[in-house]
Structures are given as C-alpha cells and as structure tokens.
Amino acid sequence: MTGIAPGGSVPQRWSATENVTWRADVPGQGWSSPIVWGDTVFLTSGISGRPFKKPTPGLYGNDYIAELRAQGLSNEEIMKRVRARDNEAPEESDEIRYMVYAFDARTGKVKWEQEAHRAKPSGGRHRKNTYASETPFTDGERLYASFGQNVGLFCYSLDGKLLWKKHWTPQPVYLDFGTASSPTVHGGRVYLLHDSEAESYLTALDARTGQELWRTPRPPTGFPKSSWTTPFVWKNAQRTEIVTTGHGMVLAYDLDGTELWRVTGMSMPTASPIAWNGVLYVGTGSQGDANRPFLAIKPGGSGDITLKGEETSNQFIMWRHPRASGYTPSALVHDGRAYLIHDTGILTVLDAATGEQQYKARVGGGGHTFSASPVAAGDRVLMLTEEGVTFVLQAGDEYKELATNDLGEMSLASPAIAGGAIYIRTESKLYRIGG
C-alpha cells in the first residue's frame, strides 16, 4: 500500500506495443487497480448487457453549473441537467455481473474468473466511477474483493473458490456518485469504511469466516457525509492504528474500534493516507485550490490534535501544508519526499520531514488530468494520466521528465509494480510492461 517498489528496475519507455510482455482484454468496466501476488494478477469488473455511460477525461467542475445559472434556470433544473450529464442513474442500468478475475502474471491468460454477484444496482454512479472501482486485497492466504457498501464483500481462496461473502444494506451516496472505498486486511481482520448520507461506520470482520467482530458508528464529519477513501492500517512504534478520512475530518481508531484521535479542517475524502519512516501522511483535496490540506502526523496522538489558530505544528502534527493535496490521487512518499499530484496536473513535491516545498510543476507541461495515484520504482516516479499517458520522472528536488509513454486509452486505475514489471489497467485492457 506504499506505491513503492524499492530498487525496482522497470522499463523507462513503452507504448501499446513496445516493451509489452502481454496485453489482455478485460470484459466489462471497472477502475479497480490491479494487485499482484506471486504469479497472479487480480482485479474486478462489472459486466452489463446494456452499454455503460462512457467516461471522459477531465474535471467535471462548476463551469457547467455557472453556464446554466447564467441562463436563468432553477436550481432544480440545474441539478437535473448536471446529473443527466455526469451520472448514470439506476434506471439507466441493466443487470450487473460483478466479476473477479485472476490473470497469469507470466502470460496474461485468465487463470480463473468468478461471478461474485448479479443484480441491478441499487444506486447510481458518476460516469467516471464504475460498479467495480474498489481495489481487491490479498493477505497471501485469501483474496478479498469488495464491490462497495451497496453490494458486498466476497472472499476467495487464491485458486478461486468462494469461501464466504457479506452483503450490506444499500445506503444513499452523495449525489449518487457511487462507491470506491476498498478493504484493508491486517492481523486476521478485514477493515471496511462505510460512509454514506444515511449511515456511517467502520467495521472489522474475521478474515477467515467473514463474521463481523465490531462496528463503530462514525460521527458526522461534515457535508457530504459520504467518503471514498480506504482505511489505512498504521503500524507505528507505539501501536497499530486504523486511520480513516471523512469529509472535514481525519479519525484514527484502535484495533477494537475505539477512537484515538482526530484532526478537523479537512475537505473532500477521496485520497487515502500513507506512512513513511514512522510518520503518517494524510491529505484531502478539492477541485479548487482553496482547501487542500496535507499533514505529517507523529504517533501517540490522543483526542483532538487539530492545529489551533496560527499554529503550524504541535505535539503530534509535525507540519501542515494548506494547499498541496490531490483531490482524487493519493500521495506518494518516497526517499524523503512527498509527491502530490492534483487532478489538474499540478505536481507539488515537499520535503517529507519538514513540509518545505521542493518544487511545483505542471506534469507534461499542462493539459493533462490525473486520477491514478503516483507510484515509484527505484529512482523513478510514474504519473499516469486519465488519457493513458505515463510520465516517468526522475526522483529528486527538481522536475526532470525522462519519458512519455502513451497507451492510447483512458485509465483511472493506479499502476502496480512487481517483479520488474508494471501492470497498467486501461478502459478495456490490462498490460504487463517489461519484466
């Protein structure tokens, strides 16, 4: 979950044909990221008998709303038109086959596939979301594939046998945007975050049986109540914590679901936390530049540890940058630097120890948008655009572009790196680059 392949040697240049070990067709639609265990690549997808409303790269911002307001339309009519443009409503959808795939990492052949569930969706989705956006997780014993809090969690043996499943009561998600929070597994437990407009809670399940061990209700964290982040298990020098982000707040829990500490003043919860060198790094973003806080937090916090007034640090917060976090992509902390790419392509690189800005640049010179989180292999940082272009950067204190690699198809899933190879999921395919 660090996004780093230490000392990894991967190709610097590729295309849809160059340096491609294999390319596999992936049926249906899904933005879950590939994960690799041994000689197997796992990912999920949703298959429908009716064409899905197609995504397009770029921000779906407030410009369209401003245009409609200038026409004198009512708020009700404005929201109706925005949803018609941006969302796929449940009544527009056919029955969905929620699929789990295992590909042979050496050949790209399908080792096994399973239909986890089949039903019409209970809620809609933003057209840049999918009905299979949650990334699966493996602990090396089992595979855990979630299709969100409106469907369920499905546990398989690594050879594809269904071991158990857990269905959830559907809840309304903000503006019918759909779900995206992935499961996290640690110490024989599966942790899932369920933040919706009606009910919000963090839950722990027994990884072997699926039995619910505890469920902790979440306090109101702001508007909207929904979130799309993945809980992060932070094993630090003092204890193990489950760190979660909700709208307006970061909340950490112990392994029994009791709140340890919180930080307020955050914004939209899409990016997930990460840890490096014993320190937690967490941020939230927005489409604009006003409130994109990114913080470095030391272990041992208790209660409300939010910075007060003009404070820039306190006993537990090492530093805070007010406008650095990405909106959709999570941060990468690598070799002493925090790399934060905003959806608009603005890259901010900070000193991970001090928060001091090393540089800021528009990746690729501008004109690109990003949803995938950056990853690193050795001394290279990979930034994948929504258009399917990967910029390979030299890790360091200045912006240095080494290569531009175009797969020619939209991609919102984060790449995986394993065994000297890069695995990239595009709208219809899964690539193994090199290795």
What secondary structure does DSSP assign to 121-185, as a single string? -SS-EETTS-TT-SPPEE-SSEEEEE--TTTEEEEEETTS-EEEEEE------GGG----PPPEE
Q: Taking a C-beta distance cutoff of 8 angstroms, is the pair 138, 144 a contact? A: yes
Q: Hey, what are 387's tokens?
A: 């258009």
Whole-prediction pTM value?
A: 0.96
Res. 8: pLDDT tops 80: no
Q: What is the pLDDT of residue 59?
A: 84
SS3 category, 364: helix
Q: What is the pLDDT of residue 118?
A: 97
Phi, psi of 79 (to 5 degrees): -65, -35
pLDDT attached to residue 63: 77
Residue pLDDT, tens place only, 406-418: 999 999 999 999 9
* Confidence category of residue 1, pLDDT binned at 50, 70, 90: low
Average pLDDT score over the chain: 95
- Range scoring the smallest mean pLDDT among 7-16, 200-209, 362-371: 7-16
Q: Which of 83-97, 151-165, 296-310, 321-335 has the lowest mean pLDDT?
A: 83-97
Name beta bridge partners: 330. Answer: none
The pairing of strands 240-246 and 20-25 is unpaired
Handedness of CA 420, 232, 354, 342 (dihedral sign): positive
Virtual CA dihedral for 204, 257, 195, 302, nearest 10 degrees?
Answer: -150
Q: Are 125 and 176 in contact (CB under 8 A)?
A: yes
> What secondary structure letter does DSSP report for 42?
E
Task: Give the pLDDT of residue 7.
Answer: 64
Strand 259-264 and strand 303-304: the pairing is: parallel
* Spatial CA neighbour of 31 closest among 421, 340, 412, 434: 412
Look-up of token digits 């990853």: 375
97's tokens: 């086959």
Tens-place pLDDT, residues 285-318:
988 778 899 999 999 999 999 999 999 999 999 9
What is the reported pLDDT for 241?
98
What confidence score (pLDDT) does residue 293 get? Answer: 96
pLDDT band at 65 (very low <50, low <70, confident <90, very high): confident
First to last CA, the chain: 21
